[in-house]
């Protein structure tokens, strides 16, 4: 059983869930197949809430804990008796199994129009590392109260923690050996959409709502969930901005809106009604009136991708905005950070690297340029060079 699970030959049982709570301190809870909260997880997640972690972070941690609980249920081992061998089984399964969110995602080849690498069918290295970090924190929390195994089942590298402690965010991250079982994550440059393909994308959208949504993403640089949460009284038409609840600070902050995006937004409101104060501005256009959620917004982009043969994502729109700002000589890096709400300079480093397609374009221009004719340094006589070196 363990070997088959480690090699991804069998799937995890579809029992339990991460349930949203309508009331109480805990926004999300991990429940078993009977719908009962798994208390050992709830105690830990409640501590995260008290340390001011966002509800979305609690839900993310809950999904990692649910996966771990399913692994232990299949193996038949209580949580407080798990060791490194069980952690290795989970890592092996995540490396080998098919990620249900990636199943049927399309061809395995690079998209020729966007140049984006295809997503693998398994779990990404960053997802595996996140799961390990969550479990390490979970067992460390319970160990402080004398619960759980004596040794944390998730191996760690003490030297790494010591070297990263008290490091300035302005300093480059030192090269440190990864902790055991941690995956090597590729460092990829953010992929932005070229200007001509942006115009093509806007033209492929079907409705004024979709054009308003995508153009606001492109001008504001807001994250997907941030822009979807905008209310009717959070659109400042006069100063060309909208107010979003920032993912990091969870406070209401302004982001810019281009004149074009506001024109599309006005057309959308004219066709479907202007939302009142406190009402979400993004709504479903068919069926029962309801707010537009993340999956529906992603579907808007997927329909355009199908028509154009591209594979852009909602986060690519944010990358495009930041890339445009970074390459604008009229904007300084602190100003770009203020607009995009990045708190650390190191988080902007990926956007400061040269884009490979732009570099290749310059190289092709170099190949096509005529070679410069050799010229004598002023002060030398051409006839003297001919006598000495020949004509």
Q: What percent of the chain has pLDDT over 90?
A: 65
Predicted confidence (pLDDT) at residue 167 exceeds the cutoff of 90: no
Q: Does one domain contain both 37 and 147?
A: yes
- Please classify residue 149 by burial: count the beta carbons closer than 10 Å to its beta carbon, then call 0-12 exposed, 13-18 middle and 19+ buried: middle
Query: Which one has a higher pLDDT value, 256 or 169?
Result: 256
Structural domain including 37 reads 1-101+121-158
Band (pLDDT 50/70/90 cuts) for residue 160 is: low
- The arithmetic mean of pLDDT across residues 302-320, rounded, is 94
In a domain, 338, yes or no: yes
Cα–Cα distance measured from residue 201 to residue 217, given in angstroms and rounded to the nearest whole number:
13
Report the run of H or E that residue 202 belongs to, with start and end.
Answer: helix 195-204
Residue 81 neighbours by CB under 8 Å, 6+ apart = 149
Residues 375 and 389: their CA atoms lie apart, in Å, by: 15
Total residues found in the chain within this entry: 391
> Residue 170: what pLDDT?
52
| Span 191-217, average pLDDT | 95
Residues 59-80: what's their mean pLDDT? Answer: 97
Same domain as 268, residue 148 = no
Give the residue-averaged pLDDT of 135-162: 89
Instruction: Based on the fold, state whether residues 152 and 209 are members of the same structural domain.
Output: no
Q: Is residue 29 part of a domain?
A: yes
Residue 359 lies in a domain: no
| Cα 20–Cα 209–Cα 114 angle in degrees, nearest 5 | 85
The model's confidence at residue 240, banded by pLDDT at 50, 70 and 90, is: very high
Q: Which residues contact 345 (CB under 8 A, 6 or more apart)?
A: 169, 170, 333, 337
Confidence band, pLDDT 50/70/90 cuts, at residue 159 = low
CATH number at residue 205: 1.10.443.10
What is the number of domains present in the chain?
Answer: 2
Given a cut of 60, whether residue 140 has pLDDT beyond it is: yes
The tens digit of pLDDT for each residue in 338-377 reads: 999 888 888 888 888 877 777 888 889 889 988 888 777 8
């Amino acid at each position: 059983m363990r070997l088959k699970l480690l090699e991804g030959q069998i799937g995890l049982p579809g029992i339990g869930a991460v349930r949203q709570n309508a009331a109480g301190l805990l926004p999300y809870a991990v429940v078993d197949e009977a719908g009962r909260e798994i208390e050992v997880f709830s105690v830990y997640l409640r501590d995260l809430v008290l340390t001011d972690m966002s509800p979305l972070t609690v839900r993310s941690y809950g999904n990692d804990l649910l996966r771990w609980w399913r692994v232990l249920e299949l193996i038949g081992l209580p949580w407080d008796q798990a060791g490194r061998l069980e952690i290795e089984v989970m890592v092996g399964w995540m490396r080998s199994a098919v990620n249900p969110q990636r199943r049927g995602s399309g061809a395995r080849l690079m998209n020729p129009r966007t140049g984006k690498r295809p997503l693998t069918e398994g779990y990404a290295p960053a997802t595996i590392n996140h799961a390990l970090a969550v479990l390490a924190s979970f067992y460390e929390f319970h160990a402080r109260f004398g619960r759980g195994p004596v040794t944390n089942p998730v191996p760690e590298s003490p030297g790494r923690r010591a070297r990263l402690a008290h490091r300035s965010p302005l300093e480059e991250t030192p090269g440190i050996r990864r902790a055991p079982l941690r995956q090597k994550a590729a460092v990829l440059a953010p992929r932005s959409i070229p200007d001509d393909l942006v115009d093509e994308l806007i033209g492929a959208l079907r409705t004024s709502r979709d054009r308003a949504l995508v153009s606001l993403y492109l001008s504001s640089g807001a994250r997907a969930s941030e822009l979807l949460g905008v209310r009717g009284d959070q659109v400042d038409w006069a100063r060309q901005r909208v107010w979003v609840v920032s993912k990091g600070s969870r406070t209401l902050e302004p982001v810019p809106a281009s004149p074009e995006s506001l024109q599309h937004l006005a057309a959308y409101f004219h066709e479907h009604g202007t939302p009142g104060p406190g009402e979400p501005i993004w709504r479903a256009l068919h069926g029962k009136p309801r707010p537009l959620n993340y999956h529906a917004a992603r579907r808007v982009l997927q329909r355009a991708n199908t028509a154009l043969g591209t594979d852009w994502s909602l986060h690519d729109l944010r990358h495009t905005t930041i890339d445009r700002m970074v390459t604008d000589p009229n904007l300084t890096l602190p100003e770009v950070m203020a607009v995009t709400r990045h708190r650390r300079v190191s988080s902007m480093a990926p956007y400061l690297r040269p884009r490979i397609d732009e570099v290749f374009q310059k190289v092709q221009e170099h190949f096509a340029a005529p070679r410069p004719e050799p010229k004598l340094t002023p002060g030398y006589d051409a006839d003297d060079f001919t006598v000495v070196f020949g004509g």
